[in-house]
Amino acid sequence: QVQLVESGGGLVQAGGSLRLSCAASGTIFSINGMGWYRQAPGKQRDLVAHIDSGGSTNYADSVKGRFTISRDNAKNTVYLQMNSLKPEDTAVYYCRVVNNRSVFWGQGTQVTVSS
pLDDT at residue 61, as a whole number: 98
pLDDT at residue 64, as a whole number: 98
Report d(CA 10, CA 30) in Å as an integer: 31
pLDDT at residue 9, as a whole number: 95
Report d(CA 105, CA 99) in Å as an integer: 11
* Angle, CA 76 vertex, CA 10 and CA 34 arms, to 5°: 70
Answer for the pair 108, 6: CB distance below 8 angstroms, yes or no. yes
Give the pLDDT confidence of 96-107 residue by residue, as tens digits.
Answer: 999 888 999 999
Residue range 50-72: average pLDDT?
A: 96
